[in-house]
Chains A and B, each alone.
Chain A
């Protein structure tokens, strides 16, 4: 039985909720307001960073063209690099992660248990403790075997597979456990090959957890700064969006019209994806944490 809340407390709670929402959205609103304005002038960003006076679409177009075509930022290239790295990593992590999770889960040998334990334990390793040797290892091994591992997209994808594997396998193993073994036996009797069982039966059934790991890994890889900044370099040709923003701010200190426009461009893709898949993202983030 739900009792109806009295009007008085309801209004108070509503007002509190709205005030907090304004607060959490305020920085985003400020960015949007100010990309419509020029840096200087009476109503420019420097003198009046709050008001709507002085805002115009012409100025927005001007700001956008100055940032997008800026060789220090090269938005499309950075956006493309970020998107490419994220998508390749997400696909490979889902496929390889599912494969590894299935093998670990269905073979109760000493080896598979040990591998699983190492994966779990490795999740507490902070990036800081491996980052310096990682760079030198990639540089030295790359030179030795004749492959470009630093400042290259395949190299960074390789690193993300290594760092994202543990969490992906952990979550997917939990899902594989819920798939009844009878199903696999039945498929095997019907003549399905061992690897076919994974691709035809297990992988499709893992879909809910694949969505979860894709969201968790996607948020991490898309927003990650430290790994790409070390592996691709601050001044390298290949940059991800966060690295490009950092480099751009470094070369245009305090030029807020340019910086805020760059920030807006960096935020938009994520916000669009959030608007489309809001429910999945929010539940995926929770599931990842609760497990």
Chain B
């Protein structure tokens, strides 16, 4: 396959040797504790030079393999450094006395035991499960009803779809503050009793649910609309000729035919509600009093799991316990995901 030009050979050699040399020097500087300012740049240029050397590698039979490596490198490298390594470290740290900077001892499952002895954590766990269940049902029901509305013969349907979807565009932090204003100022003025929904734990939890549905139902609606328009028109027509009324058509034809869409939406709302953080932080920051939970007085009445993990580590500086909670968080999500994959695979086989 083709001859290799000497220029390419030379370029490859220069890049490979030069790059490797730069890498080695940079690493020697790192390991000897040198504070030479350019050593970081030497590392980056070294890596790029080695990649360039691979690109010019003087063998056409190997060329394909070299390109494969170069093409995979950027995402695989960033992925390994930002996801895989921290994940492994995180699981390891959860078994130590890590304080965010260094660890001195291996403590086994002590962190896990400690977190299950915190009533505030158990409260957050319970609250999150409740939040997830309520939202999974509510967001899907509301989203589905909106989708029915947006597939009926409305005028200006494009406007309504966009208007219902709009809340999903804006980040939870900004929305949380806007809703805080709505609850604390607008509603008080309109109703006139001077008590904000956010000032009481139960109603504040209800408020978070309302905001979450408001933000997420429009998105779920779009997915249901996408499912509903795939229901073939002739099937609906046949049903109409056979004398099916709209409600029968809905339950006997439309809903069974979009079963896979329902699975997708259920899973989406489940994982997203479970990870809820931004709105929780901006709206109530987890505050709210609970008079008696497992014999304790709690001040984190509306704090959900993700926020609990954040506060444990960042605010209270208990990194190891925070990390142990995060690992539990991950395990729960992994189990839920596996169950979901199982269910949807089974459904696909049946169809």
A21 part of interface (Cβ distance < 8 Å) = yes
Check if A266 is an interface residue, CB within 8 A of chain B: yes
Q: Which residues in window 114-135 of A have CB below 8 A to B? A: 115, 118-119, 122, 124-135
Contact, CB under 8 Å: B169 / A130? no
B181 close to A270 (CB less than 8 A): no
Alpha-carbon distance A278/B222, docked complex (angstroms) = 13
Residue A28 at the chain B interface, CB threshold 8 Å = yes
Judging by beta carbons under 8 Å apart, are A20 and B146 in contact? yes
Question: Is A16 close to B, CB under 8 A?
Answer: yes
Given A28-B166, A96-B74, the answer on whether A45 and B178 have CB atoms closer than 8 Å is no
Interface bits A192-223 vs B (CB < 8 Å: 1, else 0)? 00110010000000000000000000010011
Q: Which of B71, B166, B237, B327 contacts A25 (CB 8 A)?
A: B166
Per DSSP, chain B at the interface is helix
Give the CA-CA distance A230 to B189 in the complex, in Å.
Answer: 37
Contacts of B161 in A (CB 8 A): 282
Contact of A225 among B89, B171, B271, B330 (CB under 8 A): B171
Q: Quick check: B173 and A246 within 8 Å, CB to CB?
A: yes
B22 smallest CB distance to A (angstroms): 12
Q: Please measure, in the bound complex, the distance between the C-alpha atom of A211 and the C-alpha atom of B241, giving whole angstroms.
A: 42
A242 to B176, CA, bound (A): 11
Say yes or no: is A235 at the interface (Cβ < 8 Å to chain B).
no
Is A169 at the interface (CB under 8 A from chain B)? yes
Bound together, the chains give a CA A248 to CA B312 distance in angstroms of 23
Say yes or no: is B63 at the interface (Cβ < 8 Å to chain A). Answer: yes
Interface size on A, residues (CB 8 A): 97
B80 partner residues in chain A, CB cutoff 8 A:
162
Complex interface: stretch among B10-18, B106-114, B275-283, B287-295: B275-283
B129 at the interface (CB under 8 A from A): no
Q: 8 tightest A-B contacts by CB?
A: A162-B82, A223-B171, A147-B40, A146-B40, A162-B78, A99-B71, A133-B86, A165-B75
- Listed in ascending order, the chain A residues whose CB lies under 8 Å from chain B are 1-2, 5, 10, 13-14, 16-17, 20-21, 23-28, 30-31, 34, 45-50, 92, 96-97, 99-100, 102-104, 107, 115, 118-119, 122, 124-137, 141, 144-148, 158-159, 161-163, 165-166, 168-169, 194-195, 198, 219, 222-226, 230, 242, 245-246, 249, 256, 259-260, 263, 266-267, 270-271, 274, 278, 281-282, 285-286, 289-290
A selection of 14 A-B contacts at a CB cut-off of 8 Å is: A10-B153, A13-B154, A20-B149, A20-B164, A46-B185, A49-B185, A103-B68, A126-B326, A129-B327, A132-B319, A133-B85, A136-B101, A161-B75, A194-B67
A129-B329, A132-B322, A136-B100 known, 15 other contacts, Cβ within 8 Å: A17-B149, A17-B154, A30-B178, A100-B72, A100-B75, A124-B271, A124-B334, A137-B89, A145-B43, A165-B76, A195-B71, A263-B178, A267-B170, A270-B170, A282-B222
Interface residues of B (CB under 8 A from A): 26, 29-30, 35-40, 43-44, 55, 63-64, 67-68, 71-72, 74-76, 78-87, 89-90, 93, 100-101, 146, 149-150, 152-155, 158-175, 177-179, 181-182, 185-186, 189-190, 214, 218-219, 222-223, 225-226, 237, 261, 264, 268, 271, 275, 277-278, 281-282, 306, 309-310, 313-314, 319, 322-323, 326-327, 329-330, 333-334, 337
